[in-house]
Amino acid sequence: MWKHIRRILMVLLAAVFLFCGGTVAVVQHQYQLNKKLYREAASSFTTQTDAAATKPSVFKKTDPGELAPKEPSEMAPIAVDFEALRKVNPDVIGWLYCPDTVINYPVLHGETNDTYLHHSYDGTYNASGSIFEDSRNGRGFVDPVSIIYGHHMASGAMFATLDRWQAVDYFYEHPVMWLLTPTRDYKVELCSAYNTSAYSDTYSFFTAHDMAFAEYLRMVISSSVIRTGAEADPSYNYILLSTCAYVFEDARSVLLGRLVPLNSAGGKALSQQE
């Protein structure tokens, strides 16, 4: 009797083990497919520009209380073929890029926040999902602050590296990102990096560049774990990058960046598009 029960239990445990192993294998396969998909997307839809060899001006490491001079003629180090990209998926609203990091992804805007949580930029199902703008934001970074989400992948892909900006050396080695869109490009001057709760006031939405928004910026910038030298200037639009963190329950790593408009769209000077 007990021998028979033990044999049944062993069979059941083996079945569970095989099922779990198979599930992990499927998910890992999806991760690899997604990594390959985005690598091919970067190869197919982006090209390096002459600006790739130029180091952007931004906050000075030697004196973080001062801002370096702006260069209004700056161009993004890549160009994006949005015409071809949006033929694949019209929900693509931009491309986020940070040199010498894994961040080199199209940005999506779905009908809901679930749309691209587990779907790649081409609409196919994948556990890695996409980089996407909060569906409550106006489409295309038009709000005072637009929230952009990405998974914290164990492989280091997507937004897994956001918490690295909480280290002083890493922050000053990567002080800017670039956000390209079909109508306007932006230099993203990074202002603040820290961990917070998924339910904190960091995840607030605004429709005007008013005093409430200015107070929000002061709160987010003062929460930074390192001194960035950024000022809370409510005349700009901002993006807040967000991913899961595992330092406490429902923790998130966030990175705030100010959008400085460039005279280009998709990496091409606006004067050349007229």
> What structural domains and CATH numbers belong to the chain?
28-272 (2.40.260.10)
| pLDDT recorded at residue 272 | 67
> In whole angstroms, how far apart are CA 75 and each of 11, 168, 212, 268?
63, 26, 32, 8
Query: If we measure between CA atoms, which residue out of 208, 46, 212, 222 comes closest to residue 138?
Result: 208
Q: Which two tokens stand for residue 12?
A: 């059941």
pTM of the model: 0.84
27-61 pLDDT, tens digit per residue, is 454 566 677 889 999 999 999 987 655 556 554 43
The terminus-to-terminus CA distance of the chain in angstroms comes to 85
Q: Is 104 helix (H, G, I), strand (E, B) or coil?
A: strand
Cα Rg of the chain (Å, integer): 21
| pLDDT tens per residue across span 49-102 | 876 555 565 544 333 333 333 445 689 999 999 999 999 999 999 999 999 999
Of residues 3 and 105, the one with the higher pLDDT is 105
Q: Which of 265, 223, 267, 220 is nearest to 239 (CA)?
A: 220
Torsion of Cα atoms, 109 then 146 then 206 then 214, to 10°: -170
17 pLDDT higher than 60: no
Helices (H), 70-128: 82-88
Could you read off the pLDDT of 117-131 as tens digits, one per residue? 999 999 999 889 999
Torsion (CA) 150, 108, 256, 158 in degrees, nearest 10 = 30
Burial class (CB in 10 A: 0-12, 13-18, 19+), 37: middle
Q: CA nearest 40: which of 97, 92, 90, 104?
A: 104
pLDDT at 55: 59
